[in-house]
Amino acid sequence: MQHHRDTDRALDLLISLAGADDAERVRERIGVAAPAAAQRPDRWAAVSAIGEAALPVSARLWMLEADDPELNELVVLSARLPGALEMSVLMGEPFGPDGGRTLPLHGALQGRPMPLGVTRFAPGEAVPALRAVGTMQQGRRAAAQLGRADWTAVIEADVADPLPGFARWALALRPDCPGVLRERFSDHPSYAYRMRNSGIVASPAVYAREWRSARSVLAVLHTGRWAFPTRMPEAEELLRPLVLGSLGGNVEAWAVLAQLLPTFTGTVPELIVTSGAIA
């Protein structure tokens, strides 16, 4: 059985969640070769993979959270990183939990100019500027000028007295907006639509559960094995029980899934459950 490259990636990811004994029989039945080790490809192949349109902007943030200078270089060279985040990378600002340090720049990022049209607030300017926002354009401009170190003051300011609506929306649409701040206005009726339309997703588990199509989601998660490996267990823990419960070692159910996958428009859980039910 011949498959599209993304179909093979998607199938490989799901098969890896089945039991080891079942996986070998499934691969033989549907024609998916045993995977190579989940290692980072060579430089330009990795840049190409990260630059694919199907990769949501939040997945690029998950990569930056590793605070790996070599991976940071790949993300920036993919040319799909918002200017504000590229500036943070070029200024050596960390995205992971170990803040308060400066990350070295690797390879082509050394000497790379700052992105055009992006500036930074001076210390103490961020909150007053956000409180002065009166339009969405002003909000986006102000949000783009935040440094990583400004988020604490912005959260404290919004807790003390909510920021203007346009400022809050612009902040929420920054991929690196802290979850604690985004949750403060997530009950707005259009919140979910705006976040999804901007490629922002809370976690790999939410991405695996709610986004579509199943093939594109699984292909992205396959890339995540080397691109954001520390975050991948979140998606795997969600999908593994579904795979074992609906597919398991039933090779005919896997054959149905392989046939449905290329044109299936639903989510990954819907694909898994539907395939098991048909078989």
Question: Which of 200, 229, 251 delimits the end of a domain?
Answer: 200
State the Cα–Cα distance between residues 73 and 103, nearest whole angstrom: 12
Do 238 and 264 lie in one domain? The reply is: yes
Of 233, 194, 237, 224, the C-alpha closest to 55 is 224
For residue range 105-121, what is the model confidence (pLDDT) as tens digits?
Answer: 999 999 999 999 999 99
- What pLDDT is stored for residue 188 in this prediction? 85
For residue range 179-221, what is the model confidence (pLDDT) as tens digits?
Answer: 999 998 888 889 989 999 999 999 999 999 999 999 999 999 9
Asked if residue 144 has pLDDT above 60, the reply is yes
Do 186 and 124 lie in one domain? The reply is: yes
> Which ranges of the chain does DSSP label H, i.e. alpha helix?
5-15, 20-30, 43-50, 57-64, 69-77, 83-90, 126-131, 136-144, 151-160, 165-172, 179-182, 191-197, 204-210, 214-227, 232-246, 251-260, 268-278
* Residue 242, domain extent: 5-36+205-278
15 neighbors 32 (Cβ within 8 angstroms): yes
Do 218 and 272 lie in one domain? The reply is: yes
- Both tokens of 102, joined, read 């400066």
> Which ranges of 65-149 does DSSP label H, i.e. alpha helix?
69-77, 83-90, 126-131, 136-144
Do 32 and 61 lie in one domain? The reply is: no
- Both tokens of 223, joined, read 């890339």
Q: Where does the pLDDT of residue 96 fall: very low under 50, low under 70, confident under 90, or very high at 90 and above?
A: very high
Q: Does residue 139 belong to any structural domain of this protein?
A: yes
Q: Where does the pLDDT of residue 3 fall: very low under 50, low under 70, confident under 90, or very high at 90 and above?
A: low
Do 223 and 179 lie in one domain? The reply is: no
Locate tokens 């300011």: which residue?
157
What's the domain count of the chain?
3
Q: Does residue 102 belong to any structural domain of this protein?
A: yes
Asked if residue 228 has pLDDT above 60, the reply is yes
Do 209 and 229 lie in one domain? The reply is: yes
State the Cα–Cα distance between residues 173 and 188, nearest whole angstrom: 14
Asked if residue 1 has pLDDT above 70, the reply is no
* Mean pLDDT on 35-44: 82
Share of the chain above pLDDT 90, in %: 81
Do 125 and 191 lie in one domain? The reply is: yes
